[in-house]
Structure formats: C-alpha cells, structure tokens
Amino acid sequence: MTERIIPKRRRGGRRHKRVRIYDTQALMELFETDDEEEVRRELARRGVTPYESAGRMFVSDSELR
C-alpha cells in the first residue's frame, strides 16, 4: 500500500459569515412597537431600505448596526 500525503486544510481563507435576517415581526419586537409604520420610520431614520416581498419587510442585521 502506498503512503499518501493528505493536505492540511487551508488556513486564513474566506469564512462564511452567518447573517441574521429580521422580518417585519422581528423588527416590531426589536423596536418595541406594534405599528408597522413606526418600524418604517425608524428604519428610514437609520437610513436602511428594507427588502420587501409578499407584504413583509426583511432587513439584515449588518444594516441595523
């Protein structure tokens, strides 16, 4: 049987970051309100444009920082 050299895993490569996505309900909980318009105003104040699909808003956590 021949000996094979198993290459070590590359170090320092790009790592995949997990991105948390907030939907409308999570944003309402985060901003402690039940009003969707108030959530929109808060996002606008922060300069964040939410992605909208099927009547719901979505924002990544990196945009909220």
Which pTM does this prediction carry? 0.66
How far apart, in whole angstroms, are the C-alpha atoms of residue 41 and residue 24? 13
9-43 tens-digit pLDDT: 666 556 666 788 999 999 999 999 999 999 999 99
12 within a domain of the structure (yes/no): no
9 within a domain of the structure (yes/no): no
55 within a domain of the structure (yes/no): yes
* pLDDT score of 32: 95
29 within a domain of the structure (yes/no): yes
How far apart, in whole angstroms, are the C-alpha atoms of residue 28 and residue 34? 6
Number of domains in the chain: 1
59 within a domain of the structure (yes/no): yes
54 within a domain of the structure (yes/no): yes
How far apart, in whole angstroms, are the C-alpha atoms of residue 62 and residue 53? 19
Q: Which domain holds residue 44?
A: 21-64
For 6-12, the CB contacts below 8 A with 24+ separation are: none
Instruction: Name the DSSP letter for residue 17.
Output: P
